[in-house]
Structure 1
């Protein structure tokens, strides 16, 4: 079942796609400020626009990501993956033409709409594809490699952003995004998902068949017939581990959304950082994340287990934000970025834990369900952190602590860490071997 050749094509596709997305990441704060508040380093309007975009995109992802994952269980990963991949090329093309205020607002509107499908859709379908091609025992390495590819794309994207002028960044991003779609269309192959006798789906109704071919057809029809809310409720209540992982995923994503959206505004106001300095920090973070995901996680995963790696990653995130919030010199954010070596272990560990809780015909809906919950965090994050960031970076702050909102981001990771310490993993095959298997 270990089809690593198929995964290589997926990794190339994801690398090109994320390279495009993350190439613009260090630049977008400067572009936003230049478009809505020219000549200013502090701008509440830019913060609120970023938060509103994140909230709307997250709200859409709550609905769209589980739906896309559910459909991919029936109709295949590649067919569904084409949709978010194509949509993601559109916003880059707008700013590749011009970056005036008018073009920025067109980009802003299209990016908000397409993000509802793209932000969670690409990663949900990709994770399902990884689970289709790798056996349960090797998924910790596969999910680590997948996260490592994203981190590597971020490193190269950030390095390119550091070297390229702003005028060319969005042009290169548009070309890379289109190249990802073309490569995927030509080389990526959908794969059959074999099922083992003991590996009956959680979402399967009472009746079943013993034939492998009939089992495949029946499970496909099951995915089509059962309503999506019923899927999600049944999955969330299928095990204590799944439920705890859902809460951990929420708080992890709450923190990730906060740091991605508001850390740059804090550093710009606190130390007057610009595009190049943002790029340097992201570069340090994702170089360490690439090493961690591709080297440390495959080794430590088999020795310590996903639950231990998850605890380490979440606690490292808390320490990272604690240091940033009290940063007393411009070098502190650079030093704290080295904690990306451990912080990057959290997300792939959650995905691996979830993957092991369900069968092969539930990978799409399971990953979509967790990513939908994570998208809820993208809605909550700006509601919490936008007012805090705007307040504590203004002259009317209740007390002098500009990094208070960043500390609150860290507390989200700390809550997730506390929940993760209660998690014990029992893979789906082990759970079902201890239960009677009912076949008609």
Structure 2
């Protein structure tokens, strides 16, 4: 919006804050069960931790599979029926499902509950589409940075809160997650306005667009978006090198226990939050989307190289800021993609991107964990504990080359139908200014996940 735009109303601030909280709760709901889920499974099956590990792997894979399948479904539904309805149903469904999980008497009911959680937690794609609806092109990277900060906050607090609550009762984290989701639903029911006017919605719900592979066809219609989406996939795939091997790697190479691992994960989350909530907003006006992307990706490569080659713990810690600075590339890339897609297809775009991230989550953990196990085994072609991180660095080097190609050929002109619609100049348009003011708590101020 221009400088003449009126100050954001309390209702508009609350709408943006609700999207922020929704994303944070999705991540919190994912992280809060990490410390307690294996123990709950052991309790339910009456077996060993080894048997529980099999169930944990199956549940994690199926959770990501549900995300892969239903992210485009939610995105397409939001294009047809509006963002508000889909977000509220997801929040309500997530709350009810956590109650079911908290009461689950068998591991199979727990398994089914996590499948439903994966479906409901797919609302992240709709939240991204909401931001694309209400925030002008030049401020979208800052807005996506706010969502990235929400992701980081959930990543920091989720496992810590789950461990604290689980020490009191192994089922208490699920009750707390249920309460937070249901409170979020009630809050959103009264304060969240619809961001997609009826005249800008899709005329019908098309199943060919809603299935994950059909949603990806959308990306092929926009060549530069397809290239940037491929970069997005490579970034997410590389990230699972850290998710799937870090605990074992830190113990094997540095002798770090659970406390040291927890501190370093908190450090990762803190650095990520600073990058997403502060640096992107401050650097975007000076550098622009394209330079931010081409600065962030090489820094991420450096971070993974530190991880892979560090023989002592302090060198590994040096790599964390580099890795987190790589987060400078994500929000501007996402903003560029929204600028190339028609307004009535923003939900499909975000659904397709969420599906790509989920697809990385289906295959990434097994890929990196098996590589780590192979290269520390007696059958290893060479002893290389950091192989997972070195492969991640290679993937991001390829992503850098691909991103350079994409941004050199991306369409610079603003499509006519991408201009801010008249319906957003009234009640909703000032929401965009929220991302450039200090309306959220200081650690949640926007700047561009």
Instruction: Output the TM-score relative to the length of structure 2.
Output: 0.76
Alignment partner for residue 117 of structure 1, among 116, 119, 122?
119
How many residue pairs get matched? 404
Aligned to 1:235: 218
Alignment partner for residue 12 of structure 1, among 17, 21, 38?
21
Q: Is the 8 A contact 2:98 2:177 kept in 1?
A: no
Query: Residue 401 of structure 1: SS of its match in structure 2?
Result: coil
Aligned to 2:192: 189
Aligned to 2:31: 22
**Displacement of 1:277 after TM fit?**
2.1
Judging changes above 3 Å, is the alpha-carbon distance between structure 1 residues 94 and 269 closer, same or farther for their aligned structure 2 residues? farther
Query: Residue 320 of structure 1: SS of its match in structure 2?
Result: helix
Alignment partner for residue 329 of structure 1, among 275, 300, 312?
312
Judging changes above 3 Å, is the alpha-carbon distance between structure 1 residues 109 and 412 closer, same or farther for their aligned structure 2 residues? farther
**Distance in 1 of aligned mates of 2:37 and 2:349:** 32
Judging changes above 3 Å, is the alpha-carbon distance between structure 1 residues 413 and 29 closer, same or farther for their aligned structure 2 residues? farther
Note the 1:94-113 alignment, pairs <5 A: 107=110, 110-111=113-114, 113=115
Question: Are 1:74 and 2:80 counterparts?
Answer: yes
Aligned to 2:137: 136
**Distance in 1 of aligned mates of 2:307 and 2:299:** 12
Question: Are 1:64 and 2:70 counterparts?
Answer: yes
Judging changes above 3 Å, is the alpha-carbon distance between structure 1 residues 127 and 50 closer, same or farther for their aligned structure 2 residues? same
Note the 1:141-156 alignment, pairs <5 A: 141-156=142-157
**Distance in 2 of aligned mates of 1:153 and 1:246:** 24
**Distance in 1 of aligned mates of 2:310 and 2:111:** 31
Aligned to 1:206: none
**Displacement of 1:365 after TM fit?**
0.5
**Distance in 2 of aligned mates of 1:93 and 1:268:** 35
Judging changes above 3 Å, is the alpha-carbon distance between structure 1 residues 296 and 404 closer, same or farther for their aligned structure 2 residues? same
Alignment partner for residue 230 of structure 2, among 241, 247, 256?
247
Alignment partner for residue 265 of structure 1, among 236, 240, 248?
248
Q: Is the 8 A contact 1:251 1:416 kept in 2?
A: yes
- RMSD (Å), alpha carbons: 3.7
Unmatched tracts of structure 2, length 5 or more: 2-7, 419-449
Q: Is the 8 A contact 2:309 2:386 kept in 1?
A: yes
Unmatched tracts of structure 1, length 5 or more: 195-212, 436-440
